[in-house]
Structure 1
Amino acid sequence: MILVSGSKCPNNCQCQDQEVICTGIQLTEYPSDIPLNTRRLYLSDNKIRFLPAMNLGLLSDLVYLDCQKNRIQEVMDYTFVGVFRLIYLDLSFNNLTFISPYSFSMLSNLLQLNISNNPHLLSLNKYTFANTSSLRYLDLRNTGLQTLDEAAFQNLITLQTLYLSGNPWKCNCFFLNFTIYLIVSHLNYPGEGLIACGDEDVMA
């Protein structure tokens, strides 16, 4: 079967010890022939627009996925359905405009998630992090987020570090509940003590 033939190394990539490095080689789509036993996959600094669930899902041992600095626009419900062992995911510096509500629902082992520097990502559904109960590090800096629902964080009982700066927060009554969550959560905000909110500052 063609789909399960991933025993070679993709063209222009480097493969060794269950690690595949395809960084900065002008890829316009997800590479073929990724070995099925891959545990760490580096796709950063390319022009990839889409992550195909059918191909990605074959990498059942994958624990580390770096997709920063690409042109990915959407993350759908089924994108990560087969990579349930994933612990590190970097989608920063892309063109994300939409993350489907249950995109990360299969990633119960995920420890670090970075979706920073996606300036066209205007909102996140309250179910976005519904099943990422192991998450410890979350980076939401420099997106287009104007508000967040505190319900999105209810299941993140292990969350330790949260980055929020550089967003055009809209300070209104709806945002108040999230602000209260930040104050009582005792999370770590490295390098930022305030969330800039229009002409105001919200103590975090």
Structure 2
Amino acid sequence: MGPLFLFSVCCFAALWSNGPIEAQPPTTPCPALCICEKWTVNCRRKNLYEIPDNIPPTARYMILAENHFANIQPLEITFLNELLYLDWSDNELEMDYEFIFPGISKLAYLDLSGNKLNAISPHTFSELNRLVFLNLSRNPTIKQIDPNSFVSNSLLTFLDISTCSLEMIDISVFEKVPTLRVLRMMDNSWYCDCALLDFINWMKMPLLGRELLDPEETICHLPKNLTGKPIMEAEAQLDQACILHFSIRVLIFAGLMSCAVFLAGVIAAWLLGVVSVLYNRTIFRTEEEGEYRGIK
């Protein structure tokens, strides 16, 4: 499944309401080191450190792969209002937790694989409302993904988070993107615990046609008894272990509740006894004082 094929599907899904694309390619100059053909600007492997000048504002496909970009300057690309496809793979791009990817209004395909991204937050792609295809693979500094990272990407269909440094991921990352259908997650150090059952059940929901690419290579790293086992085949062991774990937790909770109720009863009885003794002593002392006054 090549990226251009996927992108053709993505573009149809993201841009169906905009009508047909114009028949004429851009006529503005092409960046000196790049190759321009129709609506495509190809700057692959041109030893670039910054966005070149003279990018046609009507460009729809831009390839900046295999260069030396370290950061993204929003003003350099936000003017590309017609851009649908952006390949920024295999560079040195870094993004912190507060970074917001520039709002390119029609962008449907974004490849950021092979960079140095270290945080994916609810802000990162919040301006890309038409995003359909997102490749974040081969970013070894990505160790976690915020549960709300893709809430704003209501058309996101394909997500690649393979070959990162992920160990666990909150199922709500996926649940909050109802359009998500295709995932690639291999080559991560997945810790297969009870939370993974939620992911397996989400993947297997009927009628939604979700697909995990390379399932045999998407394996558990820990615990040791599941090391090397494909995560989609770990359901039986996890079911058994999690039921036992849940039962133990229920028993512990029930035991603690019983102890709490018992202690509460003891304390309540003790307090009642103290109050009763104090009350009786007060009554007895009042009666003695009354008798003493009667004798006088």
Q: TM-score, normalised by structure 2?
A: 0.61
Q: Distance in 1 between matches of 2:76 and 2:198?
A: 40
Q: Distance in 1 between matches of 2:212 and 2:175?
A: 18
Q: Distance in 2 between matches of 1:186 and 1:18?
A: 33
Indicate yes or no: 2:132 matched with 1:103.
Answer: no
- What residue number does 1:61 align with? 82
Q: Distance in 2 between matches of 1:175 and 1:12?
A: 48
Q: Distance in 1 between matches of 2:59 and 2:117?
A: 26
- What residue number does 1:4 align with? none
- What residue number does 2:11 align with? none
Q: Distance in 2 between matches of 1:122 and 1:29?
A: 27
Displacement of 1:194 in angstroms is 6.3
Change (3 A) 1:99 1:10: farther
Kindly indicate whether the alpha-carbon contact (under 8 Å) linking 1:30 and 1:50 is maintained by their aligned counterparts in 2: no
In structure 1, runs of 5+ residues without a counterpart are: 1-6
- What residue number does 2:110 align with? 89
Alignment match of 1:187 (pick from 205, 210, 223): 210
Task: Write the mapping of 1:1-204 to structure 2, written as runs, cut at 5 A.
Answer: 7-74=28-95, 77-81=99-103, 83-184=104-205, 186-193=209-216, 195-198=218-221, 199=224, 200=226, 201=229, 202-203=231-232
Where 1:153 maps in the other structure, the secondary structure is helix
Kindly indicate whether the alpha-carbon contact (under 8 Å) linking 2:203 and 2:211 is maintained by their aligned counterparts in 1: no
Q: Deviations over 1:74-120 (max 9, x none)?
A: 16543222x12111110011121123322112222212111111111
Aligned CA RMSD, in angstroms, stands at 2.1
Where 2:212 maps in the other structure, the secondary structure is coil
User: Given residue 160 of structure 1, which amino acid in structure 2 is its aligned partner?
Assistant: R
Q: Distance in 2 between matches of 1:120 and 1:179?
A: 25
Where 2:203 maps in the other structure, the secondary structure is helix
Q: Which moved more, 1:13-22 or 1:116-125?
A: 13-22
Change (3 A) 1:102 1:8: same
Kindly indicate whether the alpha-carbon contact (under 8 Å) linking 2:82 and 2:106 is maintained by their aligned counterparts in 1: yes
In structure 2, runs of 5+ residues without a counterpart are: 1-27, 234-296
Answer 1 or 2: higher relative contact order, Cα 8 Å, separation at least 6: 1
Count of aligned pairs between the two proteins: 197
Q: Distance in 1 between matches of 2:215 and 2:33?
A: 40
Q: Distance in 1 between matches of 2:134 and 2:111?
A: 6
Larger Rg: 2
User: Given residue 203 of structure 1, which amino acid in structure 2 is its aligned partner?
Assistant: M
Q: TM-score, normalised by structure 1?
A: 0.86
Q: Distance in 2 between matches of 1:103 and 1:175?
A: 25
